[in-house]
Amino acid sequence: MGSNQKILVIQTAFIGDAILATGILEKLYKSHPTAQIDYLVRKGNDGLFKAHPFLNKLLIWNKEDGKYKDLLRLLKAIRAERYDYVINVQRFANSGVLTAFSKAKVKIGYDKNPFSWAFDIKAAHQVNNGLHEVERNQQLLTTISPGEAERPKLYPSDEDFLKVEAYKTSPYVCLAPASVWFTKQMPKEKWIELLDNIPHSTQAFLLGAPSDKDLCEEIIKTSKHSSTTNLCGALNLLQSAALMKDAEMNYVNDSAPMHLASSMNAPTTAIFCSTIPEFGFGPLSDDSTILQVKEKLACRPCGLHGKKACPEGHFDCGFKIDIPLTKEGQEA
């Protein structure tokens, strides 16, 4: 692939999906370092990639600015680029339209996409095949960049690291208790139990969006842990990733913060409630632990994604998780 080759990767799903797809960017750059690589994401996820060192251009789908109007704007811009390769990691119609009518020389995507009839190269996407999602994603690259899958990676800037430097003066852990989905979020009471289990000499930072601030404040007020700081809304995603990088441990749900930790190869304890690691979205860091209910529950998993409420009304997959003695507690 020559230096004048142009590649567009499309992943317009949520934060975690956009992070996992960076494994594709890593693999393409490793195999074709002189190619122009562009990335299309939804508005809100773009902040993750603004300082990315080898991305040529970031295309942003702003659904709030008229979903289809903005899709047409993007299509016009994509067609004007005349990409050599468009690699679509999404399986839905909107991204399918952009791919099918992109005028790219080679269009690559999943066979489940409604517009896959227009793709030149198609791959199957099977959740229960023992592969991690990053491996499933990179099956799209078999013909143009074969070999083992690359891990997802984010690149916080020097300014991002500088922003969190003051928090790194002593050993610390990070906790991200919230999730968009109720059944992916370990119950508040269990987070309090976990926080109580961390030595007081270890600083605990609670991370999340501004909307998570009240939940984290409740956890801190009820907990007996004396060295806690609520950073919800104080850090952007890349700054959070920069803080997680040097933590003794990062305690996260099966949600976006888990993928942030993976992108930094940061120590991770990933908590799975209604979902299971076998779906292929687990932590990828070298130092990774899974925390989940030990009891075999007939209702678990209740779906591939989280739900707004427990379908059975008891949420045993969350409340019956045993909180072990933390790594920091064992070392204290």
Report d(CA 139, CA 148) in Å as an integer: 10
The answer to whether 6-141 and 158-331 have equal CATH topology is yes
- 302 in Cβ contact with 183 (< 8 Å): yes
Instruction: Please identify every stretch of the chain with a pLDDT value under 70, giving residue numbers as ranges.
Output: 1-3, 325-332
Work out the burial of residue 46: count CB atoms within 10 Å of its CB; fewer than 13 is exposed, 13-18 middle, 19 or more buried: middle
Count Cα atoms within 13 angstroms, Cβ side, for 304.
6
Report d(CA 7, CA 153) in Å as an integer: 18
DSSP output for 165-218: GGG-SS-EEEEE---SSGGGS--HHHHHHHHHTS-TTSEEEE---GGGHHHHHH
Q: What angle do CA 300, 306, 309 make, to 5 degrees?
A: 85
Residue 240 dihedral angles phi and psi, to the nearest 5°: -60, -45
DSSP output for 37-105: EEEEEETTSGGGTTT-TT--EEEEE-GGGTHHHHHHHHHHHHHHHT-SEEEE---SHHHHHHHHTS--S
* SS3 state of residue 255: coil
pTM of the model: 0.94
For 40, residues 6+ apart whose C-beta sits below 8 A from its C-beta are 8, 9, 10, 11, 12, 58, 59, 60, 61, 74, 78, 98
Element (H, E) at 327: helix 327-331
Count Cα atoms within 13 angstroms, Cβ side, for 72.
5
The CATH architecture of the domain made up of 158-331 is: 3-Layer(aba) Sandwich (3.40)
- Written in H, E and C, the secondary structure of 184-198 is HCCCHHHHHHHHHCC
- 209 in Cβ contact with 239 (< 8 Å): no
Write down the pLDDT at residue 328. Answer: 54
Spatial CA neighbour of 248 closest among 160, 139, 130, 331: 331
For the chain, the maximum distance between any two Cα atoms, rounded to a whole number of angstroms, is: 61
Write down the pLDDT at residue 331. Answer: 46
Report d(CA 284, CA 263) in Å as an integer: 8
Residue 127's identity, in one-letter code, is V
Spatial CA neighbour of 135 closest among 40, 33, 45, 20: 20
Q: Which CATH class is domain 6-141?
A: alpha beta
Write down the pLDDT at residue 64. Answer: 82
Taking the domains of the chain in order of start, what are their residue ranges?
Answer: 6-141, 158-331
Distance of CA 139 to the CA centre of its chain: 19
* SS3 state of residue 135: helix
Peptide bond into 301 cis (omega under 30): yes
